[in-house]
Structure 1
Amino acid sequence: MTPAEILSAPLRFRNGSVLPNRFAKSAMSETLGTIDNHPTSDLATVYRAWAEGGSGLSITGNVMIDRHHIGEPKNVVVEDASDLELLSAWAKAGQVGGAQIWMQLNHPGKQSPKLLNRAPVAPSAVAFRKELRSMFATPRALTGAEIEDIIRRFARSAEVAKQAGFDGVQIHGAHGYLVSQFLSPHHNQRTDDWGGSAGKRQRFVLEVYRAIRLACGEDFNIGIKLNSADFQRGGFTEGESLAVIEALVAEGIDLVEISGGNYENPAMAKGGDSGEVKASTRAREAYFLAFAEQVRQRVDVPLMVTGGFRTAEGMAEAVASGATDLVGLARPLVVEPDLPRRIMAGQPFTSAVRPIRTGIRVIDDMALMEVSWYTRQIGRMASGKAPRKHDRGLWSLLEVLGVMTTRSVRTRLRAGE
């Protein structure tokens, strides 16, 4: 079979829901909300472009469940149904041509910058490594009552997403945000029922899933984005990740997306566990396929692997081999939003994405531009401009820093700080 034939095949979930093809737009931070965290019509514009470009599934950027705890300025927050009209327009735009759109739900925990939050929360009061402490405050450990409230917030936000017409939600359990923090023995040093053993560290994500399922029903799609590992000493391991996936599959989860890393070791942005792309990874393209194959041997659940795909042949081989069911794409879909349609039409394809380098080591080591630059290109799409295919190095950094600082200050001023 050709790459076009393999990647054009539909995917059916256990609840009967069907995706029209194997292309999935993975979550990226759009920061297209208002300064007070409401959705805007720009989101519909961008997600319509991805649906029209052929992505069978689009997963939104991290929608926060608590406006007092956000990861970036202009994150969308969904706490109630007050923005239902705009949310519904967003959902409809992402469903053009029979595509699906799922809302990613998130709580940043300790990964909320000082410019936005001087009193972040986490499972335990564990500070960031010293290089990041100027940007992130040491968090306060959550109380049991606060943990229960956060679980309810996840369920309420999911309920609103369903009411607005989204086809599903994805729990963000990767990249060092709150769910990931609960799973990690480095970040979660509790000794109560929410930590202290691998089984107890699983409790938070399982309770979040159960609360969403109870609120939204069996016919609503629920997925999770989960680290294969944190790649951090004393952190979440592949063995622990496999155990979490097995537990979630036993509960009935519909889709597992595999990624890896966190702010302190951003493997998701830099190419696997070392920050350098290994020869074996270059050959197969995707960073986390080997781990996906381990998952496949243990459980029967639709899998999505994100990170590293660059050619039509590499995408098709990953699906044909059975290692993954969905090809997760992020940066390639920013610079070329119509790439799925072109591949399914039989056109040869190699992505234009390449690593961003500013020449400033601390910036490049943390892969900060790998997030921020692409977020800026999403903004260009929202305003009707074509995204740039390549960055402009230091000039791009200055542009991004200016925008981030201005937005952070405006957010703080609005909060009355």
Structure 2
Amino acid sequence: MPSPLADSVKLPCGLVFPNRLSKAAMAELMAKTNQPNDSLNDAYEQWSQGGWGSILTGNVQVDVDHLGSPFDPALHGEYTGDDKTVVKEWKKYADACQKHGTPALVQICHPGRQSFRPAGRRGFFAQTIAPSEVPMNIGNGLLEQLIACVAWSQPREMTRGDIEKAIRCFVDTARLMADAGFSGVELHGAHGYLIDQFLNSKTNLRTDEYGGTPTKRARFVLDILREIRKVVPPTFAIGIKLNSADHSSSTFEETMTQIALLVDAGIDFMEVSGGSYEDPQMMGYAKSETPKSERTAAREAFFLEFAKEVRQRHPGLVLMLTGGFRSRAGAEAAIRDGACDLVGIGRPAAIDPKFPLLLLDESLDDEKAALPLEKVPTPFYARWLPRNLIGAGAESTYYAGQISRMSRGLATLAPAL
């Protein structure tokens, strides 16, 4: 019996993914000049041969002054559609991603208050920007407070001009990606980045038209979505990645209200993930270990229950679930349970760029159609640092290293304890 993972999926804009397996976004840490380069292109050419239904790039920052890491690709200035040199460089990236016909979408992002001091061209001591002046908090201990002070500057509340500029940056970046030949973009509204900061009542304390209610907190991303639609082709996909794990039961319905607004605005797909630098659940780490239900523990996906609730309320929404998938059996279970339409796979893709070919090989039994991975060991010199932050950092850095090896044609190595 053919695997449901082999089914094609058509987005509302008309773009078709040939199967349900998506190479999820991961940090590559390879853009030393904050521009696409041959190393990045070589890595994505490897994935383009891997049998994926879709490829999501790592973060492309919409403003070079505000980066998530010092090595993110970014928009370097205003783009109005007439800079052929810029388009040419990004087209090489798009062509590498899609060389073998797989649609590729660019994850576009603004880190807001999560921009590290050395990341971006605003200056080491310059303030970050955020919906409200809520500083980063990785813990209440003296050590955690010291680390946060060293890593991040105090954010300042964005003015109306700041908000309008950030929206233009998202729009310009999406327009450039469309002109370069990518198949779509994904707005990064998760992991504590700027869009998530606006959506979340913990970080958005505003009382103007961009805060105060769930609907007003969603205005920032809805404005971005509306303005992007004006400058890209109708077949260009616009998706969004949203958090699930950082919303408590008391704010659950607020989150559902915001999702309904995005559905009504015509989002093409939604990816469910979770966590932030403060609480990195997307990497399998958290400040506190909240017990999972037996049903969730029996599944690989980190954020399965939230996705199933979204599916129940919005059965027509194309839903991607990312985080924790390691096997054909686990991915198929999520599809057959109705939790999602697309399965996002991150870390296994950095070890085996052709992982879909393994999962879709009908000659292999379920036991062999899998790639279990150990946690990345924390370096001995860092073990006195906060576990949730350092553990997640070790994971991200390790897999970025494997992506670099892959781009150079070297064998990748799964972590071993």
Equivalent position amino acid for 1:375 in 2: A
SS at match of 2:238: strand
Please name the residue that 1:241 is paired with.
Answer: 255
| SS of residue in 2 equivalent to 1:362 | coil
Q: Distance in 2 between matches of 1:340 and 1:107?
A: 30
Q: Where does residue 43 of structure 1 map in the other structure?
A: 40
Helix, strand or coil at the partner of 2:228: helix
Q: Of 51, 54, 62, which aligns to 1:54? A: 51
Q: 1:372 aligns with which of 384, 397, 400?
A: 397
Structure 1 residue matching 2:212: 3-state secondary structure: coil
The 3-state SS of whatever aligns with 1:43 is: helix
Q: Deviations over 1:21-50 (max 9, x none)?
A: 111011111122133x11102222111111
SS of 1:225 mapped into structure 2? strand
Q: Does 1:355 align with 2:375?
A: yes
Equivalent position to 2:189, from 170, 173, 191: 173
**Secondary structure, in 3 states, of the residue corresponding to 2:385?**
helix
CA distance in 2, matches of 1:240, 1:191: 16
Unmatched tracts of structure 1, length 5 or more: 393-417
Name the residue aligned to 2:332.
316
In the alignment, residue 4 of structure 2 is paired with which amino acid? Answer: I
Q: CA deviation at 1:391?
A: 5.3
1:31 to 19, 29, 32: 29
* 8 Å CA contact 2:192, 2:275 repeated in 1: yes
Any idea what SS the aligned residue of 1:110 has? Answer: helix
Aligned length, in residue pairs: 387
Query: Which moved further from structure 2: 341-350 or 322-331?
Result: 341-350
TM-score, normalised to structure 2, is 0.88
Counterparts of 1:282 and 1:319, CA distance in 2: 17
For 1:334-345, what aligned pairs fall within 5 Å after superposition?
334-345=350-361
Matched, 1:18 2:13: no
Question: SS of 1:71's equivalent?
Answer: coil
Percent identical = 39
CA contact (8 A) 1:352 1:389 kept: no
Deviation at residue 329 of structure 1 after TM alignment: 0.5
Residue 330 of structure 2 aligns to a residue in which SS? helix
Counterpart Cα distance in 1 of 2:169 and 2:71: 19
Partner of 2:107: 104
**Are the counterparts in 2 of residues 260 and 272 from structure 1 also a CA contact under 8 Å?**
no
Q: Which residues of 2 match residues 68-107 of structure 1 at below 5 A?
A: 68-78=65-75, 79=77, 80=79, 81=83, 82-107=85-110
Give the aligned residue type for 1:167: S
Does structure 1 residue 9 correspond to structure 2 residue 23? no
Distance 2:118 2:174 in 1: 28
Query: Separation in 2 of the partners of 1:224 and 1:164?
Result: 20
Relative to structure 2, which stretch is displaced further, 102-111 or 337-346? 337-346
| Contact residue 363 and residue 369 of structure 1 kept, 8 A | no
| Counterparts in 2 of 1:365 and 1:53: CA distance versus 1, 3 Å | same
CA RMSD, Structure 1 to Structure 2 (Å): 2.0
Distance of 2:332 and 2:411 partners within structure 1: 27
Partner of residue 385, structure 1: 410
201-210 vs 37-46, which deviates more? 37-46
C-alpha separation in 1, matches of 2:291 and 2:404:
29
Which of 118, 122, 138 does residue 154 from structure 2 map onto? Answer: 138
Distance in 1 (alpha carbons) for counterparts of 2:108 and 2:13? 21
1:281 pairs, out of 283, 289, 296, with: 296
Q: CA 1:156 to 1:38, structure 2 compared with 1: closer, same or farther past 3 Å?
A: same
- Secondary structure of the structure 2 residue equivalent to 1:256: strand
User: Which residue of 1 is the match for residue 133 of structure 2?
Assistant: 125
Partners of 1:23 and 1:250 in 2: how far apart?
26
Residues 384 and 277 of structure 1: CA distance in aligned 2, closer, same or farther (over 3 Å): farther
Which of the residues 192, 212, 221 maps onto 1:205?
Answer: 221
Contact 1:335 1:353 in 2 (8 A): no
- TM-score normalised according to structure 1 size: 0.88
Q: Contact conserved, 1:335 with 1:388, CA < 8 A, in 2? A: yes
Tell me if structure 1 keeps the 8 A contact 2:296–2:305.
Answer: no
Does the 8 Å CA contact 1:318/1:324 hold for their aligned counterparts?
A: yes
Whether the aligned pair in 1 keeps the contact of 2:279 and 2:286 (CA below 8 Å) is no
Mark the CA change 1:231 to 1:374 in structure 2 (over 3 Å): closer, same or farther.
farther
Amino acid in structure 1 at the alignment position of 2:22: A
In the TM superposition, what is the alpha-carbon distance from 1:151 to its structure 2 partner? Answer: 0.4
Give the conservation status (yes or no) of the 8 Å contact 2:287–2:388.
Answer: no
8 A Cα contact 2:58 2:106, kept in partner: yes
CA-to-aligned-CA distance 1:260-312 (integer Å, 9 cap, x gap):
11111111111689547844333111011111111111112100000011111
- Partner of 1:104: helix, strand, or coil? strand
